[in-house]
Amino acid sequence: MSETTYVRPGFTTLEKLKGIRRELALRTNVYPKWVAAKKMKQSTADYELAVLQAIHDDYQLKLDQEMRHGTD
């Protein structure tokens, strides 16, 4: 029997940025509901969204630099 190995493709900065935007939108929508239902503390929601926003900002900066200078 042959073994199948999944090889993760290299994702572009734009693909990563789009992914984090989707995740931010999803969590921005879901977290308030979880907080209201006492499934999550507001402080946890705030922290997790801040981390995701920082990741988004890093990828946005990287994409902006790539657009100005080209990729290596």
Query: Is residue 72's pLDDT more than 90?
Result: no
DSSP secondary structure letter of residue 38: T
Per-residue confidence (pLDDT) for residue 70, from 0 to 100: 73
Range of the domain at 45: 13-69
User: Residue 54 falls within a domain, yes or no?
Assistant: yes
How many independent structural domains does the chain possess? Answer: 1
Tell me whether residue 8 is in a domain.
no
Closest CA relative to residue 11, chosen from 46, 51, 59:
59
Which run of H or E residues covers position 71? Answer: none
What are the tens digits of pLDDT across the range 10-59?
A: 999 999 999 999 999 999 999 999 999 999 999 999 999 999 999 999 99
Question: Does residue 25 lie within any of the structural domains?
Answer: yes
Tell me if residue 29 falls in helix, strand or coil: helix
Q: What is the pTM of this model?
A: 0.80
- Establish if 23 belongs to a structural domain: yes
Residue 38, phi then psi, degrees to nearest 5: 65, 25
Look at residue 24 and tell me if it is in a domain: yes
Which pLDDT band holds residue 9 (cuts at 50, 70, 90)?
A: confident
